[in-house]
Amino acid sequence: MRVMGVDPGLTRCGIALVESGRGRSVTALDVDVVRTPSDMELAERLMRVYTQACHWLDVHQPDAVAIERVFAQNQVSTAMGTAQAGGVIALAAGQRDVPVRFHTPSEVKAAVTGSGRADKAQVTMMVTRILGMQTKPKPADAADALAIAICHCWRGPMMERMAEAQKKAEAAAARHRQRIAEAREGSRA
């Protein structure tokens, strides 16, 4: 499975592509950081992120896009910009029928380091080790994008199976409730 991992942001947006192999084997295929100057108009910044996401999707044709879920941050404007960048990437993927999944920062950290409270240095060190890289990916946004993609490779298939099982269970419960309602109606007649 090819996964495009995204660490969304307006100033720096990390984008990475990894491919999963047997077991927990993961190979980095490409990584980059899309940069936009803070003095550029918001619409132009989002267009640059969107254009790069489209390019990556068209060139690499991933099976899924994994984006880090935006959490409440100290600065509302930072959180808004991060969410907007993630949104245009999700839009680009949706236009190409590529599934998009969001992963929380603690979920990503736990997947690659074993601790949901790991710091950026620990995440970078483990990404470097997992991918067998000679040097650490820089800047941190690149390492984070790789970590998000790794997280999805390792947890995504299980999450998909659990979601499918949940849908089946809900459908079975609805059929059961319907049969009970029909039986009650039949006994009243």
The answer to whether residue 122 sits within a structural domain is yes
> Percentage of the chain surpassing pLDDT 70?
98
Residue 19 annotated as catalytic: no
Q: What is the pLDDT of residue 35?
A: 97
Is 39 annotated in the active site?
Answer: no
> Is position 32 annotated in a ligand binding site?
no
The pTM of this model reads: 0.85
Q: Which domain holds residue 108?
A: 2-159
pLDDT in tens, 10-37: 999 999 999 998 888 999 999 999 999 9
From the list 63, 141, 160, 164, the catalytic residue is 141
Q: Is 10 inside any structural domain? A: yes
- φ/ψ of 135, rounded to 5, equals -130, 155
Q: Could you tell me if residue 72 is inside a domain?
A: yes
Q: What is the pLDDT of residues 59-96, one digit of tens each?
A: 999 999 999 998 766 677 788 889 999 999 999 999 99
- For 20-45, give one letter per residue: b (16+ CB within 10 A) or e: beeeeebebeebbbbbbeeeeeeeeb
Rounded to whole angstroms, the Cα distance separating 37 from 45 reads 8
Q: Identify whether 68 is a catalytic site residue.
A: yes
Tell me: pLDDT of 182 over 70. Answer: yes
Average pLDDT across the chain, whole number: 92
Number of domains in the chain: 1
Residue 144, annotated as binding a ligand:
no
Has residue 95 been placed in a domain? Answer: yes
**pLDDT tens sequence across 99-117:** 999 999 999 999 999 999 9
The predicted model gives 154-173 an average pLDDT of: 84
The answer to whether position 70 is within a domain reads: yes
Say how far apart CA 29 and CA 110 lie, in whole Å.
23
Of the listed 19, 44, 68, 97, which one is catalytic?
68
Is residue 187 situated within a structural domain?
A: no
Q: What is the CATH number of the domain that holds 96?
A: 3.30.420.10
Is 39 part of any known ligand binding site? no
- Give the active site residue among 7, 41, 44, 63: 7
